[in-house]
Amino acid sequence: MAKTVTLHFLGKQYDLRADDPTDDVESVVRYVEKVMAETEAQHKGLSPQKITVLAALQMGRDYVRERRRNRELQALVKNRSGALARRIDDILPDDV
């Protein structure tokens, strides 16, 4: 069921409807508000549109970095679990 969540940035309020779990939506809203506030503080005097574009680019960069870290972590887990499985196979008798 869709829930309404309020987002505040650049002096305006936005009411959003979302079907995602409330905790997820609230986390996203807090993240967007944080990035927008940081971007606005770093770039005083820019138009709201430019601040929004810079914040969107920052969030995109964060997303790409996290995806990369996730892929690297998945590869590390796969490699280590494979090595561990081989070590276990080497120790166990063949008839087990």
Instruction: State how far the Cα of 53 lies from the Cα of 21, in Å rounded to an integer.
Output: 27
Question: What is the pLDDT, as a whole number, of residue 6?
Answer: 87
Residue type, 49: Q
Alpha helices in 43-96 (DSSP H): 48-91
pTM higher than 0.85: no
Torsion sign over Cα 8, 33, 31, 49:
positive
pLDDT digits (tens, 9 = 90+) for 2-19: 888 888 888 889 898 889
pLDDT digits (tens, 9 = 90+) for 28-81: 989 999 999 999 999 999 999 999 999 999 999 999 999 999 999 999 999 999
Determine which helix (DSSP H) or strand (DSSP E) holds 7, and give its type and residue range: strand 3-9
Determine which helix (DSSP H) or strand (DSSP E) holds 92, and give its type and residue range: none
Question: What is the pLDDT, as a whole number, of residue 1?
Answer: 67
* pLDDT over 70 at 96, yes or no: no
